[in-house]
């Protein structure tokens, strides 16, 4: 399964590295009627005659005020002329008229990414030594998978803004992703000093302790995470795991069941639940949980196999 998180990192990469907006190139009009009537404007756009494209699209829009194809074409023409703000406005109007138009959304994403880049350049011009510049560089490295440089840049940023919750959490998450749990706990604990009721920090801290085989230390942080977000299936699961490790079987079962109530397809929760029931001598429940875990596991294998068979299939997210 290609998760949204992965897709997000790709988009961020596109925005932060060398995004080239192809607003003038990538075609797309809504209907055949629109296509015919806007053909002149489209041709003008492709041949680089943006003024002409703009003028033709404007004439078309006088007759068809709410044509998303017309608005999109006009937007692309004005963007090509360098008027990004106007282009954004036109595309925003188009998406309000037809929120499900993927062409409009595509061009809106393109111009937004371009304008993001512009603002980041502006940030650099206004304050080249800002911690934000280092933070952006870190995020850019991270999106490319260059973790070592990302950590380096985050640390530079942190020197300039030692109490930035965003930075502390980002660097802690990164350390955790690299299995540097001890280091992660240092940053999470600093983050919790800045913001004592921050879910991400509390959860990250708890998970790090769990990986460090310190369930007793993890438990209060899972509980804190649940105070911040009682509907977090992940935190209930983590707490159930930690309680199981210290032998609090009843507590563990309660948390794992809650995790499954919130997220019924959480395979790992079934697996731990089976273990907990087993240790409590509740063998039939243990078998049922184990069967559910195995069924979900088979489904995961099949789904993974489908992705391997067709590398170009796109993420299909939750349907």
Partner 1 sequence: MLGIMMAAMVLIPRVIAAQNSNSPQSPLPVNLQARFRAGVQALKSDRLTDAQHIFEEVIRAGGETTAVHTNLGIVFQMQHEHTKAIAEFRRAIRLDPDDESPYVLMGASLLSLGQISDAIRQLNKATLIAPNEPLARLELGKAYLDADQPLKAVEQFQILRRISPDAAEYAYELGIAYLKLAEWCTRNIQRIDPRSVRLLQVMAEGYRAQGQLDRAKTLLESAVREDPKLPGLHLEIAEIALQQGNTQVALAEVRKELALVPQSAAALALESRLKQEAR
Q: How far is the CB of 47 from partner 1 (least distance, A)?
A: 4
CA 308 from chain center: how many Å?
23
Q: Nearer Cβ to partner 1, position 117 or 293?
A: 117
Minimum Å gap between C-beta 15 and partner 1 is 5
CB of 211 to partner 1, least distance (A): 26
Distances (CA, A) of 14 to 109, 166, 222: 11, 22, 35
* Residue showing tokens 């949980």: 289
Q: In the complex, what is the shortest distance from the CB of residue 221 to partner 1, in angstroms, rounded to a whole number?
A: 16
Q: Quick one: the chain helix, strand, coil %, rounded to 5? A: 75, 0, 25
**Cβ partners under 8 Å of residue 8, min gap 6:** none
Complex with partner 1: residue 82 or 247, whichever CB lies closer: 82
Q: For partner 1, give the closer residue by CB, 46 or 179.
A: 46
In whole angstroms, the minimum distance from the beta carbon of 152 to partner 1 comes to: 19
Structure tokens at 288: 């049922």
CA distances (Å), 84 to each of 41, 107, 161, in order? 19, 12, 32
57 φ, ψ (degrees, to nearest 5)? -65, -40
Q: What angle do CA 231, 175, 7 make, to 5 degrees?
A: 65
230 versus 247: smaller Cβ distance to partner 1: 230
Closer by beta carbon to partner 1, 205 or else 292: 205
Instruction: Output 91 or 269, the one with its CB closest to partner 1.
Output: 91
Residues that bind partner 1 (CB under 8 A): 4, 7-8, 10-20, 22, 24-28, 43, 46-48, 88, 92, 95, 99-100, 102-103, 105-106, 108-110, 112-113, 115-120, 122-123, 126-127, 130, 132, 136, 143-145, 163-166, 194-198, 311-312, 314-317, 319
Contact partners, residue 274, CB within 8 Å, separation at least 6: 286, 287, 289, 290, 293
Query: Least Å distance between CB 51 and partner 1?
Result: 14
């Amino acid at each position: 399964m290609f998760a949204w998180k992965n897709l997000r990192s790709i988009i961020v990469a596109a925005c932060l590295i060398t995004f080239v907006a192809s607003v003038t190139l990538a075609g797309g009009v809504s209907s055949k009627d629109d296509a015919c009537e806007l053909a002149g404007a489209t041709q003008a756009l492709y041949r680089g005659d943006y003024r002409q494209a703009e003028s033709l699209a404007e004439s078309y829009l006088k007759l068809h005020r709410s044509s998303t194809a017309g608005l999109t074409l006009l937007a692309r023409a004005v963007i090509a002329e360098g008027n990004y703000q106007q282009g954004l406005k036109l595309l925003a109007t188009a998406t309000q008229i037809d929120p499900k138009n993927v062409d409009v959304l595509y061009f809106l994403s393109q111009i937004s990414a371009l304008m993001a880049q512009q603002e980041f350049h502006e940030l650099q011009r206004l304050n080249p030594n800002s911690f934000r510049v280092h933070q952006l560089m870190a995020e850019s490295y991270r999106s490319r998978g260059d973790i070592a440089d990302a950590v380096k840049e985050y640390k530079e940023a942190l020197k300039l803004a030692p109490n930035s919750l965003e930075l502390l959490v980002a660097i802690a998450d990164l350390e955790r992703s690299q299995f540097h749990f001890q280091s992660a706990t240092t940053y999470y604990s600093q983050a919790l000093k800045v913001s004592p009721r921050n879910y991400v920090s509390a959860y990250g801290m708890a998970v790090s302790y769990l990986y460090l085989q310190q369930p007793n230390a993890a438990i209060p942080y899972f509980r804190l995470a649940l105070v911040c977000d009682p509907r977090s299936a992940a935190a209930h699961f983590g707490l159930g795991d930690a309680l199981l490790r210290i032998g609090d079987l009843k507590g563990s079962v309660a948390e794992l069941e809650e995790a499954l109530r919130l997220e019924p397809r959480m395979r790992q929760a079934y697996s731990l639940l089976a273990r907990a029931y087993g240790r409590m001598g509740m063998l039939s429940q243990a078998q049922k949980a184990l069967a559910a875990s195995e069924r979900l596991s088979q489904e995961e294998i099949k789904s993974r196999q489908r992705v391997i068979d067709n590398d170009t299939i796109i993420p299909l997210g939750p349907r």
